Structure 1
Amino acid sequence: MGPLIPNNLIPLEWNSIIAILIGIVFGFVLEASGFSSSRKLAGVFYGYDFAVLKVFFTAAVVSVIGLYYMDYLGYLDITQLYVHPTYLWGAIIGGAIMGVGFVAGGFCPGTSLCAVAIGKLDAWVYVGGILLGIFMFSELFNFIEPIYDGYFLGNITLMDTFSWNPYWFIFIFSIIAIVAFAFSDFVQKKIKKVFY
């Protein structure tokens, strides 16, 4: 069972270099896909461009199918994967702040850095806002720590919470993605008829 690239093939010291190369390729793909454009990213909220929704749904479906297939083949032990702990209030409040920032600024944190790399001024303002938010969070942490640590649920997944069979969950999630793709195409065509 894993890792996919054993340490006897690539020395441990190369991990950082490989991570940087993967980051460069990821940034290139973001830029090539048009994800450094705030108009394209915000389009999902206004109904005229659903590329973001389609990319993220595709990434999620391919990832979960790939992980469980590698588990099935014995290359990976799915029970050994790290699951980030869930703090419900922090997730809800942080998600709301992130959502408002995404709609208002037209970027998520990753795509804003991609846009900064190609010199977009609105992205510089957005990243400045992120840095200001990080500073405010660190300065107010003692005050907001009870909310941040509030309602700890542990290292859970949806499948654990509802005792769902993972294979049925993957199947249903794939159907939801297909329906979302079809619905987004329908909405996008209606919006284009009204405004274009």
Structure 2
Amino acid sequence: MGPLIPNGIIGGGWDFVIAILIGVAFGFILEASGFSSSRNLAGVFYGYNFVVLRVFFTALIVAMVGIIYFDFLGWLDLSKIFILPTFLTPMIVGGVIMGFGFIIGGYCPGTSFTGIAIGKLDAVFFTVGLYLGIFAFSLAYPLFEGFFTSGALGNVTLTDVTGIPAHWFALAFTVVALAAFWGTMFIEKRVRKNMKQYKF
């Protein structure tokens, strides 16, 4: 759980407690952001609601800039932060599959549980399908194991791949995010105007 337990600031027995508290806070923020509604979530693909893009870009910027400042101030040891290993090809294919599932079902795995928490029936069906998919994949895993572990790049980051220093990358990403906020505002207005005009 971040640098607290590895650095001995708190004991290892607190990891599950911290995980539960973070999970509750994450679910609360998802619900407060409107992520329990499949219409809000799917809206980013149809151009009438970009709340998903804005919330996640904001979270990414805050986390990225915060980590860089914490490292600069000596409050955080970046070497102790876990980086998920990259398996390029299967991750791309998985992203495409999840994207189609997001468009069709209107939820991602995390937001489907947020929908269930407030009694959304479509979220229940989505989550049932999610677990059936997990079960089917686990049974068929021996057939996909070679592909699943292909394209291994190790624990790499975009700064490793591009050679761009982290602080410059954070600045560029922030500029891109702000441009996206501004651009999607006009797209939303245009699409919603057309939807109102044609009564979609």
Stretches of 4+ aligned residues off by more than 3 angstroms: 4-8
SS at match of 1:119: coil
Structure 2 counterpart of 1:161, one-letter code: V
Q: Do the aligned residues in 1 keep the contact of 2:5 with 2:11 (CA within 8 Å)?
A: no
CA shift for structure 1 position 122: 0.5
Range moving further from structure 2, 19-28 or 34-43: 19-28
> Whole-Å Cα distance in 1 between the matches of residues 17 and 5 of structure 2?
17
CA shift for structure 1 position 22: 2.4
CA shift for structure 1 position 21: 2.4
- Paired residues in the alignment total 194
Range moving further from structure 2, 18-27 or 116-125: 18-27
CA shift for structure 1 position 11: 4.6
Structure 2 counterpart of 1:187, one-letter code: I
Look up the match of 1:63. Answer: 63
> Whole-Å Cα distance in 1 between the matches of residues 189 and 34 of structure 2?
20
Unaligned 5+ segments in structure 1 are none
> Whole-Å Cα distance in 2 between the matches of residues 48 and 144 of structure 1?
37
Structure 1 counterpart of 2:4, one-letter code: P
**Paired-residue identity, %:** 48
Distance 1:185 1:92, change over 3 A: same
- 1:76-113: per-residue Cα shift (whole Å, max 9, x none)? 12233221111112101110111000000000100001
> Whole-Å Cα distance in 1 between the matches of residues 8 and 82 of structure 2?
20
TM-score, with normalisation over the residues of structure 1?
0.93
Give runs of aligned pairs for residues 133-148 of structure 1, distance below 5 A: 133-148=133-148
Query: What RMSD over aligned residues (CA atoms) do the two structures have, in Å?
Result: 1.7
SS at match of 1:164: coil
> Whole-Å Cα distance in 2 between the matches of residues 180 and 39 of structure 1?
20
Distance 1:77 1:5, change over 3 A: closer
Distance 1:156 1:111, change over 3 A: same
Unaligned 5+ segments in structure 2 are none
SS at match of 1:153: strand
